Amino acid sequence: QKEVEQNSGPLSVPEGAIASLNCTYSDRGSQSFFWYRQYSGKSPELIMSIYSNGDKEDGRFTAQLNKASQYVSLLIRDSQPSDSATYLCAVNMFMDSNYQLIWGAGTKLIIKP
Amino acid sequence: GAGVSQSPSNKVTEKGKDVELRCDPISGHTALYWYRQSLGQGLEFLIYFQGNSAPDKSGLPSDRFSAERTGGSVSTLTIQRTQQEDSAVYLCASRIGGSGNEAFFGQGTRLTVV
């Protein structure tokens, strides 16, 4: 069974602090990893993709990948109330002769002013 | 178009009727996914099209659900004899090829079965 696991939350973080979201995955051979943000009533939108071990920074967002430990995380610095949303982790896995995006259930993040 | 387009945005139907939901992917995207999302829940995979390969239908919840993709572009998801439990948001996503690329979502179709 190929799985992606996330803590469902809610994760409550004070405004201005760092929010840390984590995701673990079961397929050691996975190579591509994505973080999406989904506001209530809206579609998921891509925040970041990461393919190599280490950190990847984009503005206030940093994705971290550790393939040996099979986890990927998303850090949000200087959290803003507008960051309140559900964050979805997606992992590209090879299944049944095709690559498939496997999704975590999402972590609900609440930024408290 | 510039993004993934879904229609209609909202659909209210009576129990027992058939509905068709449409997805127009980003031009050149060979992979297309359909998902269902109930209120407060995660994405439920329904079906996956990749190029000319046979679609992965493993997520379709019953034989009332079917989907097709004509000419490798537009896809239609059909639900026959709708039930109240079919009420959800149906999301379509597309991406280039099958590996390593991001998926982009349409705005979704909110289906309400009354």
Q: DSSP string covering A81-98, please?
A: GGG-EEEEEEEEEEETTE
State whether residue B27 is helix, strand or coil.
coil
Residue in B with minimal Cα distance to A100: B98
Res B52: pLDDT: 84
Residue B18: which residues within 8 A CB-CB, separation 6 or more?
A: B78, B79, B80, B81, B82
Q: Which residues pair with A111 in a beta bridge?
A: A13
Residue from A7, A91, A99 whose CB has the most chain B CBs within 10 Å, to mutate: A99
The reply to whether residue A31 touches residue B48, judged by beta carbons under 8 angstroms, is no
The answer to whether residues B4 and B14 touch, using CB atoms and an 8 Å cutoff, is no
Q: Which residues pair with A39 in a beta bridge?
A: none
Nearest Cα to Cα of residue A82 among A112, A49, A44, A42: A112
Residue in B with minimal Cα distance to A85: B40
The Cα–Cα gap between B60 and A40 comes to 25
Give residue-wise pLDDT tens across range A45-90: 999 999 999 999 999 999 999 999 999 999 999 999 999 999 999 9
**CA angle, corner A54, sides to A49 and A60, nearest 5?**
60
The Cα–Cα gap between A110 and A65 comes to 23
Give residue-wise pLDDT tens across range A68-79: 999 999 999 999
Residue A44, chain B, CB below 8 Å: the answer is: yes
The reply to whether residue A98 touches residue B56, judged by beta carbons under 8 angstroms, is yes
8-state DSSP, A78: S
Cβ contacts (< 8 Å) between B95 and chain A: which residues?
A: 101
The reply to whether residue B33 touches residue A44, judged by beta carbons under 8 angstroms, is no
B71 — phi, psi (to 5°)?
A: 60, 25
Interface subset of A 60-79, CB within 8 angstroms of B = none
For residue A16, what are its two tokens?
């201005």
The Cα–Cα gap between A43 and B9 comes to 12
For residue A7, what are its two tokens?
């803590």
Q: Tens-digit pLDDT profile for chain B (114 aa)? A: 589 999 999 999 999 999 999 999 999 999 999 999 999 899 999 999 988 888 999 999 999 999 999 887 999 999 999 999 999 999 999 998 766 789 999 999 999 999
Res B99: pLDDT: 67
Residue B52, chain A, CB below 8 Å: the answer is: no
Give yes or no for residue A96 having a pLDDT over 80: no
Res B98: pLDDT: 63
